[in-house]
Amino acid sequence: MATPDAFKVGSLKGKVALITGASSGIGAGAAVLFSRLGAQLALNGRDVDNLTKVAEECEACGAVKPLLVPGDLTDEDTVKRTVEEVIAHFGKLDVLINSAGILAMGSIETTDMAQYDKVMSVNVRSVYHLTHLCVPHLINTKGSIVNVSSVNGVTTMFSHLILIVELASKQVRVNSVCPGVIITEVHKRAGLDEDQYAQFLEKCKVTHALGRPGEVEEVAHAIAFLASDAATFITGVNLPVDGGRHAMCPR
Q: Rounded to whole angstroms, how far apart are CA atoms 28 and 117? A: 25
pLDDT in single tens digits along all 251 residues of the chain = 444 444 554 589 999 999 999 999 999 999 999 999 999 999 999 999 999 999 999 999 888 999 999 999 999 999 999 999 999 999 999 999 999 987 777 777 888 899 889 888 888 899 999 999 999 999 999 999 999 987 655 544 444 556 788 899 999 999 999 999 999 888 888 888 999 989 989 999 999 999 999 999 999 999 999 999 999 999 999 999 999 988 887 55
Domain 4-186+216-242 listed as CATH 3.40.50.2000: no
Predicted pLDDT at 150: 74
Confidence (pLDDT) at 6: 44
Q: Residue 123 contacts by C-beta under 8 Å, 6 or more apart in sequence?
A: 101, 102
3-state secondary structure 146-211: EEECCHHHCCCCHHHHHHHHHHHCCCCEEEEEEECCECCCHHHHCCCCHHHHHHHHHCHHHHCCCC
Structure confidence at residue 140 (pLDDT): 98
